[in-house]
């Protein structure tokens, strides 16, 4: 976890330069919730009129902040976001609900809005009471120092076991106007998002009605955060929230969105995938990023399940850590998925080289290009089931000693 001086993932990408987004000011502060000597409380304030969309964990045991956000989302309006790192405020009963209400009330008073216009997220240890009086005590100083420029600090402020901060920026055209989308994310372990990831916050200056914004976000999430896994463990705190401040001067977007948002949707999808892949690149202990393509499945949904079964297999992931293109374990993972598959039609390629075709090893198979590919930082696996036209692509990372090191002593 942060503070343990984990080595930075070899798959890390540099933090991009994030421009100011009109209508957003943000900042961080050290509230001393759990970590010492680092900012752990992040705040964003949005211009009046900001619309909001969100997708959250499908866990049956979500954290109190997730419950709060789901309820707040109904009105489709947002004025502030408060995020703390180090304590997830999950499985904390009434104390958890009280903490959420107190934090929202304190932030609302500073911003001059309703508590229900404040969005909240917490990440860190589960099952310990959140000392929310530390949050509320730190909020006035935090609020007083917000500026439009502090995206890099925010990207760092929400980290837990992450080894590098994660942000992404895209621009898009709505009519003749250029709008900007910026986002940050955190996540490294307990990553098997089920409608969202650990935490990701995205803002744009576009003016988009909440229903259209929600539709775009759900669609983009399905192709990005829902296609990554680190360890098959779905977090209780997964939250992806998108804020649209409406400061850009473009023609009016109808509630249902439509053709006008085509380029915006493209840019949003690209940004969400960028952030999701950064999370996979920072998977706990990751040494290799793995892309898994499944084709020839009976349906796209079936292809996704097969791909996820491969991506979540400890035996596939340890084989890749050992730079072993062990296709037998891939066959095993296809078989255990329970999805339609015919052993004798399956073909498997690694790094573009077909190792197995139609249920057996390729005659005269030359291992050399596969061995070379396995030594790289990015490993690509393709499985063709030979049954239909369903396809899917997911990403994961390898399973190494680093994962055991990090998670065998997380709380200590």
251 part of the interface to its own copies, by CB under 8 A: no
| Stretch near its own copies under the rule CB under 8 A, chosen from 41-49, 56-64, 256-264, 269-277 | 56-64
The sign of the torsion formed by the CA atoms of 358, 360, 361, 363 equals negative
Angle at 35 between CA 164 and CA 132, to 5 degrees: 120
| Stretch near its own copies under the rule CB under 8 A, chosen from 211-219, 247-255, 313-321, 389-397 | 313-321
Instruction: Please state the closest distance from residue 295 (CB atom) to its own copies, in A.
Output: 17
Identify the residue among 90, 99, 142, 374 touching its own copies (CB under 8 A): 90
Looking at the Cβ atoms of 178 and 326, the one nearer to its own copies is 326
Q: Which residues of 41-60 are buried (b: 16+ CB within 10 A; e: fewer)?
A: bbbbbbbeebbbbbbbbebe
Q: Is 160 known to sit in a ligand binding site? A: yes
By CB under 8 A, the residues from 212 to 231 that bind its own copies are: 231
Closest CA to 64 of 24, 16, 102, 117: 102
Identify the residue among 40, 269, 339, 384 touching its own copies (CB under 8 A): 339
Looking at the Cβ atoms of 3 and 359, the one nearer to its own copies is 359
24 to each of 76, 202, 366, how far by Cα in Å? 17, 11, 55
Instruction: Please state the closest distance from residue 234 (CB atom) to its own copies, in A.
Output: 4
Closest CA to 207 of 171, 271, 148, 254: 254
412 part of the interface to its own copies, by CB under 8 A: yes
| Stretch near its own copies under the rule CB under 8 A, chosen from 75-83, 101-109, 136-144, 400-408 | 400-408
By CB under 8 A, the residues from 105 to 134 that bind its own copies are: 125-129
Between CA 181 and CA 171 the distance in angstroms is: 6
Q: Is 407 known to sit in a ligand binding site? A: yes
Instruction: Please state the closest distance from residue 374 (CB atom) to its own copies, in A.
Output: 12
What are the residues facing 381 on neighbouring strands? 292, 350
Between CA 378 and CA 384 the distance in angstroms is: 20
Q: Counting every residue, how long is the chain?
A: 412
Instruction: Please state the closest distance from residue 167 (CB atom) to its own copies, in A.
Output: 26
Residue 77: phi and psi, rounded to 5, are -120, 145
Looking at the Cβ atoms of 58 and 262, the one nearer to its own copies is 58
Q: Is 284 known to sit in a ligand binding site? A: yes
Rg (CA), the chain: 22
62 part of the interface to its own copies, by CB under 8 A: yes
CA 390 from chain centre, in angstroms, equals: 25
Identify the residue among 75, 137, 149, 233 touching its own copies (CB under 8 A): 233
Instruction: Please state the closest distance from residue 311 (CB atom) to its own copies, in A.
Output: 12
Q: Is 149 known to sit in a ligand binding site? A: no
Q: Is 412 known to sit in a ligand binding site? A: yes
Between CA 69 and CA 50 the distance in angstroms is: 15
Burial of 412 (0-12, 13-18, 19+ CB in 10 A): exposed
The sign of the torsion formed by the CA atoms of 250, 251, 256, 261 equals negative
Identify the residue among 251, 328, 352, 376 touching its own copies (CB under 8 A): 328
Active site residue 57: no
Binding mask 179-198 for its own copies (x = CB under 8 A): ----------xx-x-x----
Whether residue 244 contacts residue 52, with contact meaning beta carbons closer than 8 Å, is answered with yes
Between CA 402 and CA 184 the distance in angstroms is: 24
Between CA 347 and CA 349 the distance in angstroms is: 7
Pull the structure tokens for residue 58. Answer: 């499908």
Instruction: Please state the closest distance from residue 184 (CB atom) to its own copies, in A.
Output: 23
Looking at the Cβ atoms of 146 and 321, the one nearer to its own copies is 321
314 part of the interface to its own copies, by CB under 8 A: yes
Looking at the Cβ atoms of 200 and 337, the one nearer to its own copies is 337
318 part of the interface to its own copies, by CB under 8 A: yes
Q: Which of 197, 234, 353, 396 is catalytic?
A: 197
Identify the residue among 42, 180, 236, 245 touching its own copies (CB under 8 A): 236
Residues 6+ apart with CB under 8 A from 25: 44, 45, 146, 147, 148
Identify the residue among 235, 245, 278, 353 touching its own copies (CB under 8 A): 235
The residues assigned a catalytic role are 197
């Amino acid at each position: 976890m942060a503070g343990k001086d984990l080595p930075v993932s070899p798959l890390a990408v540099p933090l991009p330069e994030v421009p100011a987004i009109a209508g957003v000011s943000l900042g961080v502060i050290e509230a001393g919730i759990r970590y010492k000597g680092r900012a752990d409380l992040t705040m964003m304030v949005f211009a009046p009129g900001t619309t909001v969309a969100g997708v959250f964990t499908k866990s049956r045991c979500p954290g109190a902040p997730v419950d709060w956000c789901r309820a707040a989302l109904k009105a489709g309006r947002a004025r502030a976001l408060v995020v703390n790192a180090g304590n997830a405020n999950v499985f904390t009963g009434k104390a958890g609900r009280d903490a959420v209400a107190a934090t929202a009330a304190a932030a609302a008073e500073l911003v001059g809005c309703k508590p229900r216009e404040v969005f909240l997220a917490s990440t860190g240890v589960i099952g310990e009471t959140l000392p929310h009086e530390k949050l509320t005590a730190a909020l006035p100083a935090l609020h007083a120092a917000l500026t439009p420029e502090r995206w890099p600090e925010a990207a760092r402020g929400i980290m837990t076991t992450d080894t590098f901060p994660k942000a992404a920026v895209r621009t898009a055209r709505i009519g003749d106007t250029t709008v900007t989308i910026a986002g940050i994310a955190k996540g490294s372990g307990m990553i098997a998002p089920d409608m969202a990831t650990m935490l990701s916050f995205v803002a744009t200056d576009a003016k988009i009605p909440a229903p259209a914004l929600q539709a775009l976000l759900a669609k983009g999430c399905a192709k990005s955060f829902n296609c990554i896994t680190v360890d098959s463990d779905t977090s209780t705190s997964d939250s992806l929230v998108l804020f649209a401040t409406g400061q850009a001067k473009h023609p009016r977007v109808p509630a249902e969105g439509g053709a006008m948002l085509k380029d915006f949707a493209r840019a949003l999808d690209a940004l969400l995938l960028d952030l999701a892949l950064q999370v996979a690149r920072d998977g706990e202990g990751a040494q290799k990023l793995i892309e898994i393509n499944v084709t020839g499945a009976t349906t796209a949904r079936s292809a996704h399940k097969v791909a996820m079964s491969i991506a979540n297999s400890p035996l596939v992931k340890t084989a890749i850590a050992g730079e072993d293109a062990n296709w037998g374990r891939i066959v095993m993972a296809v078989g255990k998925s329970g999805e339609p598959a015919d052993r004798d039609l399956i073909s498997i390629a690694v790094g573009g080289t077909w190792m197995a075709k139609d249920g057996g090893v390729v005659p005269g198979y030359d291992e050399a290009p596969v061995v070379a590919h396995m030594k790289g930082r990015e490993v690509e696996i393709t499985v063709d089931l030979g049954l239909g036209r369903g396809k899917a692509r997911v990403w994961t990372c390898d399973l190494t000693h680093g994962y055991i090191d990090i998670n065998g002593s997380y709380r200590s």
